Structure 1
Amino acid sequence: MTSNAKRTVLVIGHRHPDTDAVCSALAYASFYQWQTGQDAVACYLDDLAPETAWLLRSLGLDAPHPIEDVYLRVADVMEAHIPVLRPDQTLREAGHVMQEHAVRALPVVDATRHLIGLVQRDALAERYLDLLQLPEEINLPVALIQRTLEATLTAGSAAAVLNNRVWIATMSPATARARIGAGDIVIVGDQREVQQAALEAGAGGLIVTDDAPLDPALIDAAARQNAILLHTRHSPFAAAQLLQQSVPVDRVMVPVLPTVTVHPDTLLQEAKAQLRRGNVAGLAVIDDEGVLQGMLLRRHLAEQTNRQIILTDHNHPDQAAPGVAESQVIGIIDHHNLGGLQTLQPLSIHCEPVGSTCTLVAELYRQAGAPLTAALAGAMLGAVLSDTVQFRSPTTTARDRAIASWLADISGQSLEVLAHGLFRARVPHPIPPASWWVNRDSKVFAFGETRFSISQVELTDIAEVMPPADELRRALMNLVAEHGLTSAFVLLTDILDQSSILLAANPAGEASAMRAFGGSFVDGQLVLPGVMSRKKQVVPPLAAALT
């Protein structure tokens, strides 16, 4: 049986993603899949920025897959294609399925795949031990007995139920008449007188074994008294054992309980702990409606499965998805400084000083001759224009301009028109509260014991649309308290004026900013003429001042 453990690579940008983080993940996932043949899925954390949503919508592109973290979940490793049992299948049939598929637990489902129970191999083993003793009494549908004994029904109804004592007729006809009671079930070989005596005694069912020839008179007699007459090739002893195996699985299954079920979205570590605690061979994976999705088996406890991840537009641990430390980072493609991410395995790092991660991704497409659609080229072009602020940012390089021209040719987009649409779409309407401004494109930086965040919002006419400074400072203080930061800042950049306004969470942050940039805060705001780039113009001097 093949495990459903996914080797799909997740390609993810940073938390609170900007357009470059989202579009670089989208484009690189497509490139990686083309280059390696391995499945790759682009993902994003938190919410899409209004600018990014507008860009994807205008190009007719679907957004990457939204995620909250990269921890492995049950759905990532469960056996999705597990065989199932119907409630009316027999123990014998269940045993054959378990043996064929080498599993120790099987789910029992109804006609719509809703879970109704779980059959474990241990339960079957206990029932098979009962085969050491012949059955004294049964309560079984005739249809199940007929199926298990591979018998022919020559009298009576398959819908009937045999419910009484069981006899193996190794007795004389006289003894049969004396001992067999009304409704009893009699297993008998080629003994016509005993067969007839059993019916005369009122037997409710007769199982004739060894393919013994049936007397037409016996068939007629069974039909007249509404008795069941089954004809099988098995010996009397084998038939008695098979009766034990004709029990339907719904009589031995574990009912649907929280201890034997798990949701596909449950964290794998939590599900493993549940499996270790429970005395079960596996957990049935069911959705919110109780529909079976697969099985989590005990062998999954021993498997060391790590999700494979590629990071785009970031490499700092504080900017990465929760769960990255427990994952296998196999690649980084970025244009920022290295931020101390530690990995257990070697990985591929493509980190260069350009204005946009999408510049690096687009160069890979061009160098490899990879197929590139007009829409995906437009997405990367939009990211380059966004991150370089239409080439106004000091981080802009000749490579950004060259790749933008190449992408414009493929996408059919005008640089001016696309940039205008991007910048106009950056702020949602109505104007959002201060918390949106300080969380939008917020990045945490760590230098030794010092950890601080810088959020950046790039707009036109920034002074006219920004919230009051005191509201922004309170929102920044909430960030400091929530994340245990030294300080927090928000950089409000006016694209057309090519200047920024810096606000700090606390007096210590303001003092550090004044040491870094000079000047003074007025009404809680420090004006920074010519400052456009957080990465190049703000992080280095602030880090030096704070540390």
Structure 2
Amino acid sequence: MSKKNNIYVIGHKNPDTDSICSAISYAYLKNELSQKQEEECKYIPTRAGHINEETQYVLRYFEQEAPLFVNDIRPQVIDIEIRKTEGVDAGLSLKKAWDIMRGARIVSLPILEEDKLAGIITVSDIAYSDMDVYDNMILSKAGTSYKNIVETIDGEMIVGDLDGEFEEGHVLIAAANPDMMEGYIEPQDMVILGNRYESQLCAIEMDAQCIVVCMGATVSKTIRKMAKEHGCRIIVSPYDTYTVARLINHSMPVRYFMTTENLITFHTTDYVDDIQETMAKRRFRDFPITDNQGNYIGMISRRNLLDLDRKKLILVDHNEKAQAVDGFEEAEILEIIDHHRLGNIETNSPVYFRNQPVGCTATIITQMYMENGIEIPEKIAGLLCSAILSDTLMFRSPTCTAIDRIIAEKLAAIAHIEIEKYARDMFDAGSNLREKSAKEIFYQDFKKFNDSNINFGVGQISSMNKQELSACKDKLLPYMEEVRTSYGLDMVFFMMTDIINESTELLMVGDMCKEVIENAFETTVESSSAELPGVVSRKKQLIPAILGQLS
């Protein structure tokens, strides 16, 4: 199936358990529906960031591979229609190369050595080789094989074998009488001549490396015997002397004329944006493509860019620009499945958009399985249930609805897990915070937002151990300031949520933070921190409160 038929199901940056599990589960559902409807497409679960430890635990528990990592969805060279121009060996003759290019109507031919690109030969290179004036040692300088010579002049090797190359000596035409020939034929020369016995004998006795007999003339037994004794090859060609002399230079190998330096090549993983400028500056007709191991793949030209297909995306668990994978603007968004507030992603055409006020995207996806009559496999049920337990903090979050709980219990039965025990193990795996760096903790679940031209970010960790949460404070606050500066944010908040006590200690950096939080929650901010009893949900409690103050 062509890569053009791939559709990537992807969650937000810094993905949480819902983002990862929803991408996997929705891709599975779409593939099942695609098979039913006999569609020619493949849905691929994808992620836009590192998988946190809680989600790693879930994937290990249900023996599920992590989704494909994609940090930039812009079109790549691999998305272009690459022309599969076959590469040729560096020893190929100029004539053969010309015949291939003329037959395929191409102007460039890649030269390969063990599947690696060694050089490029073009129609212009062959034209120059034909027009330039070379001395009569050019065939030997080029290391021309006897096989190439025989093929090029449509000849037959009647004495000697085709193995080996013409590596030294001149190429001469025996137009003079034998007395004069003795003065200019040297050992190892190649002599083009006719059917004159005396000339043939003279060339052999002068230790010529090879003689080329033209016009398909018969070579006597005596000459053949003499040639064998002197180690001289004999080639017979049906062409006249002029034609053989004109064609024989076309037997030279392409390696002698190909371009090997300053080759402009692209990799399959290069982004189209990055190669367009290079292609515009260079007047080459074709550009070779290699994979990441340097193996030749094919050729592209500027014309191929006209047929570029944008990658196709389905977004799950988000619908805001700041949270979407880099380059999403250059992709074609087909669907959005989410449970958050409506964000600011714009699409070029209408899309299927399903947004419900429930506690988890996985809840919506489970409903879609049921609506379409698709049986939920045990492992997929486990992933969906894990996402709901994670996003609803085991039903403690105010975002949790009755439908979340009902569906989670049904999924748990299919997955054969006991909710209370499994959820505690899952949260414990994700909240092993003491050994982690500030960066590892911070990016377990971090999202950026924009409102009223104010940019802010909110991260969150949840744990059943309040002491473990408190121990993170001192290393998180300095790192949050680094994050604020690097992203150019006005404010950065971080929720340290105590699942058991259903409360959050909120850390903050930024000039407006204190005023925003104190007004929003009627609390007191001290040392860049505030206690928020009853607040456990970023989506339903913290973000709306912040946005209310900003507006």
Cα deviation 1:46-93 (Å, max 9, x = unaligned): 311110001001111110112322233334437385411222122222
**How does 1:491-506 map onto structure 2 within 5 Å?**
491-506=495-510
Which amino acid in 2 is paired with 1:118?
I
8 Å CA contact 2:82, 2:304 repeated in 1: no
Map 1:408-487 to 2 at 5 A: 408-428=412-432, 430-467=434-471, 469=473, 471-487=475-491
Distance 2:440 2:172 in 1: 80
Q: 1:135 to 1:374 in 2, by over 3 A?
A: farther
SS of residue in 2 equivalent to 1:70: coil
Q: Would the aligned equivalents of 1:480 and 1:486 in 2 still touch at CA under 8 Å?
A: yes
Within 5 Å, which residues of 2 pair with 1:226-237?
226-237=231-242
Contact preservation (8 Å) 2:360, 2:392:
yes
Task: Give the TM-score of the pair, scaled to structure 1.
Answer: 0.88
Q: Spell out the pairing of 1:171-190 with structure 2 (5 A cutoff).
A: 171=175, 177=181, 181-182=185-186, 183-188=188-193
CA distance 1:102–1:363, change in 2 (3 Å): farther
The residue aligned with 2:88 is 85
1:250 corresponds to: 255
Q: Who is 1:213 aligned against? A: 218
Q: Who is 1:65 aligned against?
A: 68
CA 1:120 to 1:377, structure 2 compared with 1: closer, same or farther past 3 Å?
farther
SS at match of 1:497: coil
The answer to whether the Cα contact below 8 Å between 1:180 and 1:198 also exists between their aligned partners in 2 is no
The 1:236–1:388 alpha-carbon spacing in structure 2 relative to 1, beyond 3 Å, is: farther
Identify the match of residue 156 of structure 1 among 150, 153, 160: 160
Q: State the shift of 1:15 in Å.
A: 0.8
| Paired AA for residue 429 in structure 2 | A
Structure 1 residues 194 and 53, CA gap change in structure 2 (3 angstroms): same
What displacement does 1:279 show? Answer: 4.5
2:349 maps to amino acid: Q
Do the aligned residues in 1 keep the contact of 2:205 with 2:230 (CA within 8 Å)?
no
Q: How far 1:515 moved relative to its partner?
A: 1.3
TM-score by length of 2: 0.88
Whole-Å separation in 2 of the counterparts to 1:373 and 1:207: 76
**Deviation of the 1:206 alpha carbon:** 2.0
Deviating more after overlay: 432-441 vs 8-17: 432-441
User: 1:159 and 1:76 mapped to 2: Cα distance?
Assistant: 44
Q: Deviations over 1:249-295 (max 9, x none)?
A: 111112254x4234444333222322333354444444666443544
Change (3 A) 1:470 1:229: same
Partner of 1:277: 281
The corresponding residue for 1:16 is 14
Q: 2:125 aligns with which of 123, 126, 144?
A: 123
Equivalents in 2 of 1:147, 1:445: separation in Å? 70
Q: Is the 8 A contact 1:314 1:334 kept in 2?
A: yes
User: Partner of 1:266: helix, strand, or coil?
Assistant: coil
| Structure 1 residue 13, shift from structure 2 partner | 0.9
The one of 310, 325, 346 aligned to 1:342: 346
Deviations 1:167-208 (A, max 9, x none): 556x57568747862344333455556545654666442223
Counterpart of 1:533 in structure 2 is 537
The AA in structure 2 aligned to 1:255 is T
Partners of 2:434 and 2:468 within 8 A in 1:
no
CA distance in 2, matches of 1:222, 1:464: 93
Contact 2:431–2:462 (Cα < 8 Å) also in 1: no
Distance 1:80 1:414, change over 3 A: farther
State the distance in 2 between where 1:463 and 1:427 align. 11
Distance 2:300 2:391 in 1: 44
- In 1, are the aligned partners of 2:79 and 2:310 still within 8 Å (CA)? no
Contact persistence 2:279–2:302 (CA under 8 A) = yes
- Deviations, residues 452-501 of structure 1 (Å, cap 9, x unaligned): 11112121123443335454333332232222222121122222222222
- Select which of 394, 402, 408 maps to 2:398: 394
Counterpart check, 1:519 vs 2:523 = yes
2:31 matched residue in structure 1 = 33
Contact 1:185–1:204 (8 Å) recurs in 2: yes
Q: Offset of 1:382 from its aligned partner?
A: 0.8
In 1: Cα distance, 2:95 partner to 2:414 partner: 64
SS in 1 for 2:192: strand
CA contact (8 A) 1:456 1:492 kept: yes
- Classify the secondary structure of the residue corresponding to 1:425: helix
- Contact kept in structure 1, 2:4 and 2:309, CA below 8 Å: no
Tell me what 1:327 maps to: 331
The CA distance in 2 between the partners of 1:278 and 1:467, in whole Å, is 58
| Matches of 2:40 and 2:476, distance apart in 1 | 47
| SS of residue matched to 2:255 | helix
SS in 1 for 2:326: coil
The runs of 5 or more residues in structure 2 that have no matched partner are none
**SS at 1:245 equivalent:** helix
Structure 1 residues 166 and 5: CA distance shift in structure 2, 3 A: farther
Structure 1 pair 78–421 and aligned structure 2 pair: CA distance change class (3 A): farther
Q: Spell out the pairing of 1:74-113 with structure 2 (5 A cutoff).
A: 74-77=77-80, 79=82, 81-111=84-114, 113=115
Q: Distance in 2 between matches of 1:406 and 1:233?
A: 85
Instruction: Find the counterpart in structure 1 of residue 116 from structure 2.
Output: 114
Aligned-CA RMSD value: 3.1
